[in-house]
Amino acid sequence: MVQPGNSTVQPNGLSSGLLIAGLMLALALSACGRAPSPAVPAPADPILILATATGPQDSGLLDVLIPIFESQTGYRVKTIAVGTGAALQMARNGNADVLLTHAPSAERVLMREGWGKDRLLVMRNDYVIVGPTADPAGIRGMLSAADAFRRIAAARATFISRGDDSGTHQTERQLWARIGLNPDGQTWYLESGQGMGATLAIASAKSAYTLTDLSTYLVGRPYLQLEVLVEGDPVLLNVYHVITVNPERWPGVNYEGARAFAQFLVDPATQEIIGRFGVDQFGQPLFYPEAGKTEAELGVP
Amino acid sequence: MSLIWEGILDAIRLLIGDDPEVWQITLLSLRVSGLATLISLLVGLPLGTVLALGKFPGRSFLLSLINTGMALPPVVVGLVVSILLWRSGPLGSLGLIYTPAAIVIAQTVIAAPVVTGLTAAALQQLDPRLRLQLLGLGASPLQMVLALWWEARLPLLAALMASFGSVISEVGASMMVGGNIRGQTRVLTTAIVLETSRGQFARAIALSLLLLALTYMVNLALTWIQQRGTRR
């Protein structure tokens, strides 16, 4: 029975509990406040928030580029991989300093509205239409992505859409709009609401078609029962821009850091790294460096 | 099936091999969720005690709120904490968004109601005559509370395990407020989501095994303390 006056009874169990709790606290506190030691003195405002499309992150490219940028400049980059639609929204709300996105028409709207300051072309790769080897809609080898979409719709073959307002999703919706077809609500048209890697896995499991950037497909190919069926149509060009958020609209943003990051991405040395990335593993680059070119030169629609 | 097998083999190779990033992620998970659990304990234990023993208007209403809070969806907590901590938000000037501290805050919001609600339930389940007896024996209010906590130590430690379990396994809030930043805010659950979406299933399985092992070891330690207390 309890003996309230006898304090020696209580502490045994409680003190062990407190000991564990104390250990947790010590561990937790030691987690905070650890910074990398850059080769150069840290800038006045070293924290830089990069909102990016998922492709550069999922392919591993940013895991290569960011540490180089950090050690060269002393900035500490917080990479938030959210998809292009969300990244553009973060710029509008002043929640990001710099963007890496791939939806040229939506980006032009952002610039026109004055939310972005600088916009530089960084790199490109290609979108491809992938699907099951059986190819029930018969699109293999077609030269026009729009015609392929028309055939998928006519065959009512399952198509997985990202459905997340990402750059890839916007390109896909533009293709449907081009052939004057609204796939919403069709039983064969499914929206995953997830990133490209997860969407490819769903398409593979469901023997379905989807539109993907080539880099994410190549990274996931060993696990996917999907093959590239349509490629090379100029409308399937996938162009990435770096955009700095306009400090006149959001005085709190780290414009100097954003500017430094944009310059880093278009720097010839960085461009060379981008062009080599993935060649060892996949036998071809995942992204082609195109800094300095204009959208017109690349044929962006 | 072969994928799972290969994944597990790869995972073992990864765990044996010296991959500092895997261990850094594991340690961060332990620290963040451990701290969140600790703060929840510091908040929830007194609050649950007051709700169980106190007599004041609105007590039942507060209890119903706490009990609802025990089922707070982590993504909702993540969204609300994000909106508060975003640069454009009311607490944006603190610069906490996308830091481990932001994850601790969100996980504390998730875990504190669990500790509070289970503490209140554990103390209310004690025989009410015990309190009268303790006070009758001349115990001060503090001594009485300590004695009641001691008497309810088994369910209280279960409350601690439940709250740690709820935050170490949570992914939605960590992803939203932490941003899953490599080397900074990437914890086990968000890393598993990322590696799965990348198609790196071996790493995803390795991290999953680590998460399970970590949860097991923490609960093993707490269970050991709990059960040692029963041998009297």
Along the 232 residues of chain B, how does pLDDT read in single tens digits? 676 787 788 778 877 877 888 889 999 999 999 999 999 999 999 999 999 998 899 999 999 999 999 999 999 999 999 999 988 889 988 989 999 999 999 999 999 999 999 999 999 999 889 988 998 999 998 999 999 999 999 999 999 999 999 999 999 999 999 989 888 899 999 999 988 877 777 788 889 988 999 999 999 999 998 888 665 5
| Cross-chain Cβ contact A20/B222 below 8 Å | yes
- Distance (Å, whole) CA A19 – CA B149: 17
CB atoms within 10 A of CB B22: 19
What's the confidence (pLDDT) of residue B14?
79
| Cross-chain Cβ contact B198/A2 below 8 Å | no
**Model confidence at A165: pLDDT above 80:** yes
A126-236 CATH choice from 3.40.190.10, 3.40.718.10, 3.40.50.620, 2.60.40.680: 3.40.190.10
Q: Are A274 and A286 in contact (CB under 8 A)?
A: no
Q: How far is B57 from chain A (nearest CA, A)?
A: 29
User: In this complex, which of A12, A31, A253 lies closest to B31 when CB atoms are compared?
Assistant: A31
What's the confidence (pLDDT) of residue A30?
47
Mutate to test the interface with A, among B2, B10, B31 (most CBs of A within 10 A): B31
**Model confidence at A29: pLDDT above 60:** no
Q: Are A162 and A183 in contact (CB under 8 A)?
A: no
**Model confidence at A141: pLDDT above 50:** yes
Q: How far is B166 from chain A (nearest CA, A)?
A: 16
Mutate to test the interface with A, among B181, B214, B215, B226 (most CBs of A within 10 A): B181
Q: Which of B136, B187, B132, B142 is nearest to B49 (CA)?
A: B142
Cβ neighbours for A86, distance < 8 A, ≥ 6 positions apart:
A51, A165
Chain B residues 12-31 within an 8 A CB cutoff of chain A: 27-28, 30-31
Chain A residues 179-208 within an 8 A CB cutoff of chain B: 194-198, 200-201
**Model confidence at A12: pLDDT above 50:** no
CATH number of B28-186: 1.10.3720.10
- Distance (Å, whole) CA A10 – CA B148: 10
**Model confidence at A33: pLDDT above 70:** no
How do A47-52 and A116-131 pair as beta strands?
A: unpaired
CA A212 to chain centre: 12
- Show me where the domains of chain B are located: 28-186
ipTM over 0.85: no
What's the confidence (pLDDT) of residue B1?
60
Q: What is the phi/psi pair of residue A176, to 5°?
A: -65, -45
**Model confidence at A27: pLDDT above 80:** no
Equal CATH topology for A47-124+237-293 and A126-236: yes
Residue whose tokens read 């659950």? B189
- Report the range of poorest mean pLDDT among A20-29, A38-47, A251-260, A283-292: A20-29
Q: Are A106 and A84 in contact (CB under 8 A)?
A: yes
**Model confidence at A156: pLDDT above 70:** yes
CATH 3.40.190.10 fits A47-124+237-293, yes or no: yes
- Distance (Å, whole) CA B180 – CA B178: 6
What does the pLDDT average to over A191-209?
90
Condensed to tens digits (0 to 9), the pLDDT of residues A58-91 reads 888 999 999 999 999 999 999 999 889 999 999 9
- Show me where the domains of chain A are located: 47-124+237-293, 126-236
Cβ neighbours for B103, distance < 8 A, ≥ 6 positions apart:
B32, B36, B173, B174, B177, B178, B185, B187
Residue A124's DSSP bridge partners are A239, A288
Scanning every residue of chain B, which has its alpha carbon at the shortest distance from the alpha carbon of A78?
A: B181
What does the pLDDT average to over A37-66?
86
The CA-atom distances, in angstroms, between B192 and each of A106, A115, B22, B171, B195 are: 31, 34, 11, 9, 5
Q: What percentage of chain A carries pLDDT values higher than 70?
A: 86
Condensed to tens digits (0 to 9), the pLDDT of residues B18-39 reads 788 888 999 999 999 999 999 9
Answer left, alpha or beta for residue A278, where phi above 0 means left and psi between -120 and 50 means alpha: left
SS3 content of chain A, % helix, strand, coil (to 5): 45, 20, 35
Decide: helix, strand or coil at residue A30.
Answer: helix
Q: Please tell me the number of Cα atoms within 13 Å of A113 on its side-chain side.
A: 13
What predicted TM-score, i.e. pTM, was given to this entire model? 0.78
What's the confidence (pLDDT) of residue A138?
96
Q: Are A119 and A206 in contact (CB under 8 A)?
A: no
